[in-house]
């Protein structure tokens, strides 16, 4: 086992292979097409193939075929073995020596901070922010941001939210930069709600926030009549609402972060109509 762990650490020692692994971790439990990986990381297909083979060779990722294309997914048990090995070796299994690995985030008697991230912060992340804000105001401080903010929330997103009875005053499109840096909000949960944001290499967040990818189709990309476009926003609202309801229904012990992470990953794997 030790040799396998060291081989995995060596494979991750290359910055591009680490970037590839981190992208697949952000997209877990989804299996991502090779073409999308190459585009997100700006790699030639031949170069990507070499990196994928290196990670697969040490058991960190696995390959799946979907029709005529190849998709790749992290082998989560392999990643956990690395953490377990380092924890037992470095901390000798004693959480007091490595407090960040044995943190008590879930036991803190305070409202937790949640942020939903998308590219433009004009539709899906705005919908998610408002739905969770109004569903559990006593439990969460809720935010949203964009990696490349559009400037204003989409008018149809605001229209649907207002029709659903939400207060839309003060909503705006925000940059991710507002929430990072020395004065940034310490997040407990980070959710990406579009594939583009999940694929981007964002700065590391302080602490150990739990993350999930809850990608849904972009309603702003839908064309057609006004009624068809609005229907897309209603669908996006309902899909996000279903995910947030599932998130709030988590009933395992609150200090079981592993169970919570599995629950969040399962929510991300829900079909769009669930």
Please state the domain extents for the chain.
Answer: 2-97, 105-268
Identify which of 191, 157, 189 has the alpha carbon closest to the alpha carbon of residue 173: 157
pTM of this structure: 0.67
What is the CATH topology of the domain spanning 2-97? Arc Repressor Mutant, subunit A (1.10.10)
Q: Which helix (H) or strand (E) holds 143?
A: strand 140-146
Residue pair 110/140 in contact (Cβ under 8 Å)? The answer is no
Both tokens of 216, joined, read 């849904």
| Per-residue confidence (pLDDT) for residue 131, from 0 to 100 | 97
- What per-residue confidence (pLDDT) applies to 105? 42
Confidence at residue 106, expressed as pLDDT on a 0 to 100 scale? 42
pLDDT digits (tens, 9 = 90+) for 93-122: 455 555 555 444 444 457 899 999 999 999
The CATH code of the domain at 105-268 is 3.40.50.2300
Return the pLDDT at 151: 87
Write out the catalytic residue numbers. Answer: 118, 194, 202
**Mean pLDDT score of the chain:** 86
Tell me how far apart the alpha carbons of residues 165 and 7 are, in angstroms, rounded to a whole number.
Answer: 55
> Can you give the pLDDT at residue 20?
95
**pLDDT beneath 70: ranges in the chain:** 87-109, 197-198, 200-204, 207, 252-255, 271-274
Give backbone dihedrals phi and psi of 26, rounded to 5 degrees, phi first.
-65, -30
pLDDT tens digits for range 211-257:
999 999 999 999 999 999 999 999 999 999 999 999 999 876 666 78
Q: What is the length of the chain? A: 274
Beta strands in 147-229 (DSSP E): 189-192, 210-213
Cα dihedral sign for 51, 57, 61, 66? positive
**What tokens does 161 get?**
């939210």
């Amino acid at each position: 086992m030790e040799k396998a762990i060291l081989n995995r650490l060596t494979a991750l020692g290359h910055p591009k292979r680490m970037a590839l692994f981190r992208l697949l971790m952000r997209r877990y439990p989804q299996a991502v097409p090779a073409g999308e990986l190459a585009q997100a990381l700006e790699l030639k297909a031949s170069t990507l193939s070499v990196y994928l083979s290196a990670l697969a060779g040490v058991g960190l990722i696995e390959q799946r075929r979907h029709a005529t294309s190849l998709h790749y997914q992290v082998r989560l048990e392999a990643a956990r073995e690395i953490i377990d090995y380092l924890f037992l070796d470095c901390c000798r299994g004693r959480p007091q020596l490595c407090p960040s690995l044995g943190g008590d985030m879930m036991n803190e008697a305070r409202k937790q901070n949640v942020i939903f991230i998308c590219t433009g912060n004009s539709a899906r992340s705005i919908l998610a922010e408002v739905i969770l804000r109004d569903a559990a105001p006593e439990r969460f401080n809720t935010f949203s941001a964009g990696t490349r903010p559009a400037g204003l929330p989409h008018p149809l997103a605001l229209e649907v939210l207002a029709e659903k009875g939400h207060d839309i005053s003060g909503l705006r499109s925000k940059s991710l930069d507002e929430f990072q840096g020395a004065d940034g909000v310490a997040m407990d949960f980070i959710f990406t709600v579009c594939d583009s944001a999940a694929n981007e290499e964002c700065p590391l967040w302080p602490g150990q926030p739990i993350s999930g990818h809850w990608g849904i189709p972009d309603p702003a990309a839908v064309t057609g009549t006004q009624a068809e476009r609005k229907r897309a926003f209603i669908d996006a609202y309902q899909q996000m609402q279903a995910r947030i309801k599932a998130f709030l229904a988590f009933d395992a012990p609150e200090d079981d972060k592993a169970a919570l992470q599995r629950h969040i990953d399962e929510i991300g794997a829900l079909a769009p109509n669930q």
